[in-house]
Amino acid sequence: MMKKIIFILFFVLISLGSVFAYADQNYSFDFILNYKEDAADIYNRNLDRVPKIIKDQFSNEVISLEVIRADNSTEVLYLVLEDSKLKEISTEHRDDVSLELFMSESNIDSIIQSDDKVAELKSVMKSKDLTIKPNGFLNSIKISIMRAVLFFIS
C-alpha cells in the first residue's frame, strides 16, 4: 500500500500517469490530454493518501511534461501544483517552470496500465526513457530525495 501512496505524488512529477494510480479504469495519455479537468480531479481526490512529508516537498510547482507521441509528434503539458493539489493541466506555454520532464507516450501508458506502477516506473527510469531537468538548486535536491524514496520502495 505504501508503494502506491508515495507513487501518486512522485509520478505526477515525472508523468501524468500517477493521477490514475487509484482509478478504477485503464486510462491513457490521450485521456489526460483530452480531459484535463477530470484528470486533475482524479489526482486531487486521492491526494489524502500521500504522506505529508512528500506533499510538503512538492506543494507549489509548475512542471513541464514533454511527451513524444506514437506518431513522433510532441505534446507539452504544464502541470500546476498549488498547496499540493493539481490546480491545472494546460497546453499553454509557461515561463515559470520549476521542473521539466521528457517522456514517451508509450512509457506513460505502460505505467498507467501496469499492475505494479512502481516497478514499471523504476524500469522506465533505469532504461533512461525519462529525463528530469530540475530548474534551480532546490529542485535538484527535491528530485534527489524523491529518487531515493522511490529506490527504497520495493
In this predicted model, what pLDDT tens digit does every residue of 82-132 receive, in sequence order? 988 889 999 999 999 988 889 899 988 887 777 777 677 778 877 878 877
Does the model's pTM come out above 0.85? no
* pLDDT tops 60 at residue 3: no
Q: Which CATH class is domain 2-152?
A: alpha beta
Q: Domain-by-domain residue ranges, the chain? A: 2-152
Q: What local confidence, expressed as pLDDT, does residue 95 receive? A: 94
State the pairing for strand pair 61-68/74-82.
antiparallel
Q: Which residues lie closer than 8 Å to 117 by C-beta, 6 or more apart? A: 3, 4, 7, 11, 17, 18, 21, 111
Q: What local confidence, expressed as pLDDT, does residue 112 receive? A: 77
CB-based burial, 42-73: b 16+ in 10 Å, e otherwise: bbeebeebbeeebbebbeebbbbbebbeeeee
* pLDDT tops 80 at residue 77: yes
